[in-house]
Chain A
């Protein structure tokens, strides 16, 4: 069965869901809000939005979403996590709460609010995936990647601590992509575009081509 455009589920328990919907709509994709397990049916990809990762964890547990989402993600469903979403995907959360959920699909360590409090939140231009068109990136109490595994590809580096130090702020491992910043807050479709490309690749692999 061929599809007109991919259907992307957006975890909609809390956070900036509307902006992700708009970003996907701009690229011609369809989106669907995910609040309970039955909402997961038929999605081709998943977005974990910005928000508070502790709140999202609690609400995913009480909504019975953790188990079905884990199964879907383990079956190689393309996923994008931004900010709080990156924390939910990380294999290791340095200062998370003991009851915090992590799908552990992206082999990185993150430190929540690693860039500091809101006064240190910032925006800057990044070089994304080797492109010479700068990508404006907004970091809000962003998570800091403190370690990355060998299989994790860095799509963009960003500033850290006002020095020339550069830290990974956009990463990909297979069908899992995460950003410490909020591509949904700027009108730059490249990050969401990458997610949609993964949907196409998945379809290809199911019909036998290589990936």
Chain B
């Protein structure tokens, strides 16, 4: 099905629109953490739009302690071969060599993630240097805009990964979206003050004030464990959800995964959410935030 001609057009890879474009295509979907090819297949069968390949889900990282790093390339390759949907993988905050390795492995998105132990306490990765797009976590609008200024093509609210507790995800989403609403209502001269307060570039602040949304898709992560949690994040204004420990730490991962996919697609329809929430077995146990010693969301700045 090929013909040849020379119309002189120059295909450009790795442009910002191309990077952001994949995030746009994932909207309304569920990105699931998986630790092996078998789980990746279950996720794909359940309707995941993408999988995040990692060695341990956040709740296990939390339990085991120690330094959490990029996954073994052979694990990532095994997962890439098992599914046809996009595969993401995590690099430590500031660890640009892990990111280079992930790009060489041709993962579809790199998550510069607070779930791993940070490698640099001053600088995040210069994401403009890469042709593979990045997603970064944020707890508030200033943090989101700083990550975007470094080249992130997708933002996810951080929540508190591995807790099965949605309260932090809600706090971060409300903070980001609340400040976007306040920016929209601000007078033009006030935006300079906002830029200073948010510690974010004026141009991005101005763009958000005009557009009423981040310049890249805003997804939600960290602590979502049930179909209703996913729909809550979507109703609050998230454009898609990441579910980590919530699926494969539940008693029936396949059914839970399908139910969360349905609830995310039909997030405004309580009848469908009720239907898919029946007989799911046990959700992951979850933690009260007062009982955890490590706050992953505080990593990154």
Contacts and interface: CB of A to CB of B under 8 A. Distances in A.
Interface string A27-68: 000000001000000000000001110110011001100000
B278 to A, nearest CB: 14
B61 interface: no
Contact of B25 (A62, A84, A112, A122): A84
A124 B44 contact: no
A166 interface: yes
B2 A166 contact: yes
Interface residues of B, number: 47
A138 interface: yes
Interface in A128-176: 134, 138-141, 144-148, 157, 159-160, 162, 164-168
B27 A118 contact: no
Contacts of A126: 9
Interface string B1-32: 11111110111111101100110111111000
A1 interface: no
Contacts of A4: none
B17 A185 contact: yes
A164 B266 contact: no
Contacts, number: 147
A182 interface: yes
Contact of A145 (B1, B46, B269): B1
Contacts of A140: 18, 21-22, 25
Interface of A: 12-19, 35, 50-52, 54-55, 58-59, 62-63, 83-84, 95, 97, 112-113, 117-127, 134, 138-141, 144-148, 157, 159-160, 162, 164-168, 182, 185
- The 9 A-B pairs with the shortest beta carbon distances in the complex, nearest first, are A118-B108, A14-B28, A58-B47, A122-B11, A124-B11, A165-B2, A52-B49, A140-B21, A125-B9
17 contacts: A16-B24, A51-B28, A51-B29, A51-B49, A52-B85, A55-B48, A55-B261, A84-B25, A95-B84, A118-B109, A118-B132, A119-B106, A123-B11, A123-B18, A148-B1, A166-B7, A167-B1
Given A55-B48, A117-B108, 14 more contacts: A14-B28, A15-B27, A17-B28, A35-B265, A55-B47, A55-B49, A83-B25, A118-B107, A119-B108, A121-B21, A121-B22, A123-B18, A146-B1, A167-B1
